[in-house]
A and B are shown apart, each in its own frame.
Chain A
């Protein structure tokens, strides 16, 4: 595939210059194209594609990583069967993860949209507010933030001290199996700044004439929100929803910090990726963990596909309609 490029000199007297004008769109740059693409291609093969295939193969083996690869023992569908039928902690982790995503993602998006609506007006200090709300997202999945959060929701942490001021007796949140996951959800919701900034950008695109026309027709704030803001914002809502859902399913750091890598108390924070980590890197069952990774990949793909499917019914793209 490099030969044609070599016969086509990039010099001004070459065929490219001769075809300037209508023919220039057909000019080929195969050699430079592949030279510039080289590092990426190498990465794609060595860091992504080959490891993926290796992982697929390993998911059908019993492999402990300590022995050479050639000693991986073929076990067929055993890993998958064990996952689905014989490992209760697997399904438990799936439930924890799905619960986490189902609760935290909508609440986070609602918070992001609510605050974005408050900020969607020019007033003094709007930039400062935006920056402050974005700060927790920026510090993001850092260990430091998770440590602070967990300490705050300890038995004698700041949150319970705050409740005590109102005479409320708090729970030992992070050490209580019924509340530990909720504490992590709250941490995720608290980081609503990133989707908020995207919502703000979307709100700026809504034409002001629409609101003026609606106001003339006597529509109140709520009707304007339901019939103008929400439909006009639906592509941005969709974008945030997909991003945050995928992000939510991958929650790891805060669950790791809260439970010191165990998924406790009583497996209440055993997120899927944490379970995968424990199986692969603590128990050294790399074959089993590979199978878990492949199911995770397929599940994420499936969820994304379903979101895109349902999106067709409620996402409104103004430029593709009536024109």
Chain B
């Protein structure tokens, strides 16, 4: 295709793709009257009122929901990075009995849809007293400290297999144990895989809805995605502005990650087939 035509096509597609997002930003700064009357993308009078109203809309306030989401997401990142790294080192670099079988099992769990496991896991956690317990985030967090997110294990195994064998063999000849090899050779060299895991782990958890919907039942424990659904119940016209304002705010952390790590993200997707 000729260059001007290509640009024209791309700009048209960009306009279509960005329209809903631009519309969301525009609407969240409009006054209630303008939301009804002005269909344009740009508000005539920019007002922060929706943000103030949305922030305090539900009894505990969105600040609390953001803190809850941040805590769940950051702890999930920590759990995933640590536990998946350990499993990946074993499966990708060490030789031990039945390794091939465990690797196959890991690949198998990769294909298990989360919606299938949610019911038995819910029953299990409920019987442990974790659902609605003193700290309702246990069912959301504990699985991530036990490397159950097989995709990240797989990603790191693939990455570690690319690290030259000669490095650990040299270290072993120099008398290093597998633990030292892990600490001083593999860990430092695995940083790109760890960063990719951390970024995607954060974004996925921040955006996750299903599990948070199932496990969080008390308003003060809600995370941002669950809190956003409260707006759907109150369908009155005046709630549209605050709903958009809070929706927009909820995308900000993900967007910042995206801007900061864009190059790295695209590389990570290219090499691993990770989804957003």
Asked whether B124 lies within 8 Å of A54 as measured between CB atoms, the reply is yes
Report if B260 contacts A (CB, 8 A).
no
Asked whether B209 lies within 8 Å of A135 as measured between CB atoms, the reply is no
Instruction: Give the shortest distance, in Å, between A240 (CB) and chain B (any CB).
Output: 8
Chain B contacts for A276, CB-based, 8 A:
115, 119
Question: Given that A1-B97, A28-B95 are known contacts, is A48 also in contact with B109, CB under 8 Å in the complex?
Answer: yes
Stretch of B42-50, B56-64, B189-197, B267-275 at the chain-chain interface: B267-275
Asked whether A144 lies within 8 Å of B270 as measured between CB atoms, the reply is no
Residue among A136, A137, A144 making CB contact with B250, cutoff 8 Å: A144
Asked whether A30 lies within 8 Å of B17 as measured between CB atoms, the reply is no
Question: Given that A20-B173, A147-B231 are known contacts, is A118 also in contact with B1, CB under 8 Å in the complex?
Answer: yes
Q: How far is the CA of A127 from the CA of B254 in the complex (A)?
A: 19
Asked whether A118 lies within 8 Å of B10 as measured between CB atoms, the reply is yes
Chain A contacts for B39, CB-based, 8 A:
158, 161-162
- Of residues 94 through 152 on chain B, the ones whose CB sits less than 8 Å from some CB of chain A are 94-99, 102, 105-106, 109, 111-124, 126-127, 142-143, 145-148
Asked whether B250 lies within 8 Å of A193 as measured between CB atoms, the reply is no
Chain B contacts for A296, CB-based, 8 A:
113, 115-116
Stretch of A9-17, A210-218, A312-320 at the chain-chain interface: A9-17
Chain B contacts for A68, CB-based, 8 A:
127
Q: Chain A contact residues: over half helix, strand or loop, or mixed? A: helix
CB<8 Å pairs between A and B, sample of 16: A10-B178, A37-B86, A39-B146, A51-B117, A51-B120, A143-B229, A143-B247, A143-B250, A144-B246, A144-B250, A158-B23, A243-B275, A260-B229, A276-B115, A277-B214, A281-B122
Residue among A24, A44, A55, A123 making CB contact with B169, cutoff 8 Å: A24
Question: Given that A33-B90, A290-B120 are known contacts, is A144 also in contact with B258, CB under 8 Å in the complex?
Answer: no
Q: How far is the CA of A10 from the CA of B266 in the complex (A)?
A: 40
Report if B159 contacts A (CB, 8 A).
no
Residue among A149, A193, A194, A252 making CB contact with B20, cutoff 8 Å: A149
Asked whether B121 lies within 8 Å of A286 as measured between CB atoms, the reply is no
Residue among B86, B177, B178, B273 making CB contact with A39, cutoff 8 Å: B86
Q: How far is the CA of A58 from the CA of B120 in the complex (A)?
A: 8
Asked whether B266 lies within 8 Å of A119 as measured between CB atoms, the reply is no
Chain B contacts for A92, CB-based, 8 A:
none
Q: How far is the CA of A247 from the CA of B176 in the complex (A)?
A: 44
Q: How far is the CA of A54 from the CA of B128 in the complex (A)?
A: 14
Chain B contacts for A247, CB-based, 8 A:
275
Chain B contacts for A23, CB-based, 8 A:
none
Residue among A30, A54, A138, A286 making CB contact with B97, cutoff 8 Å: A30
Chain A contacts for B262, CB-based, 8 A:
131
Instruction: With CB as the reference atom, state the residue of chain A lying closest to B178.
Output: A32
Residue among A115, A140, A293, A300 making CB contact with B207, cutoff 8 Å: A140
Instruction: With CB as the reference atom, state the residue of chain B lying closest to A17.
Output: B173
Q: How far is the CA of A276 from the CA of B146 in the complex (A)?
A: 26
Report if B153 contacts A (CB, 8 A).
yes
Chain B contacts for A148, CB-based, 8 A:
20-21, 23-24, 244, 247
Instruction: Give the shortest distance, in Å, between B7 (CB) and chain A (any CB).
Output: 8
A29-52: CB near B (< 8 Å → 1, else 0) gives: 110111011111111101110111
Report if A253 contacts B (CB, 8 A).
yes
Instruction: With CB as the reference atom, state the residue of chain B lying closest to A244.
Output: B275
Report if A179 contacts B (CB, 8 A).
no
Residue among B19, B94, B98, B123 making CB contact with A36, cutoff 8 Å: B94
Question: Given that A134-B276, A135-B258, A243-B273 are known contacts, is A289 also in contact with B148, CB under 8 Å in the complex?
Answer: no
Instruction: With CB as the reference atom, state the residue of chain A lying closest to B233.
Output: A260
Chain A interface size range = 35 or more
Asked whether B123 lies within 8 Å of A142 as measured between CB atoms, the reply is no
Q: How far is the CA of A158 from the CA of B95 in the complex (A)?
A: 59
Instruction: With CB as the reference atom, state the residue of chain B lying closest to A300.
Output: B113
Instruction: Give the shortest distance, in Å, between A227 (CB) and chain B (any CB).
Output: 18
Residue among B87, B173, B208, B258 making CB contact with A40, cutoff 8 Å: B87
Asked whether B269 lies within 8 Å of A286 as measured between CB atoms, the reply is no
Report if A105 contacts B (CB, 8 A).
no
A181-204: CB near B (< 8 Å → 1, else 0) gives: 000000000110110011011000
Report if B83 contacts A (CB, 8 A).
yes
Asked whether B10 lies within 8 Å of A129 as measured between CB atoms, the reply is yes
Asked whether A55 lies within 8 Å of B273 as measured between CB atoms, the reply is no
Asked whether B269 lies within 8 Å of A260 as measured between CB atoms, the reply is no
Instruction: With CB as the reference atom, state the residue of chain B lying closest to A202.
Output: B270
Chain B contacts for A69, CB-based, 8 A:
123, 127
Residue among A40, A46, A115, A145 making CB contact with B83, cutoff 8 Å: A40
Asked whether B95 lies within 8 Å of A119 as measured between CB atoms, the reply is no
Question: Given that A39-B86, A289-B119, A296-B115 are known contacts, is A34 also in contact with B96, CB under 8 Å in the complex?
Answer: yes
Instruction: Give the shortest distance, in Å, between B132 (CB) and chain A (any CB).
Output: 12
Asked whether B119 lies within 8 Å of A134 as measured between CB atoms, the reply is no
Q: How far is the CA of A62 from the CA of B257 in the complex (A)?
A: 45
Instruction: Give the shortest distance, in Å, between B271 (CB) and chain A (any CB).
Output: 8
Report if A230 contacts B (CB, 8 A).
no
Report if A102 contacts B (CB, 8 A).
no
Q: A29-B94, A48-B148, A273-B210 are in contact. List 18 more A-B contacts (CB 8 A).
A: A32-B90, A32-B179, A36-B86, A36-B94, A38-B86, A44-B148, A65-B122, A134-B265, A138-B265, A147-B228, A197-B266, A200-B270, A247-B275, A260-B229, A277-B210, A297-B112, A297-B113, A301-B111
Instruction: With CB as the reference atom, state the residue of chain A lying closest to B146.
Output: A43
Chain A contacts for B258, CB-based, 8 A:
131, 135, 138
Asked whether A147 lies within 8 Å of B207 as measured between CB atoms, the reply is no
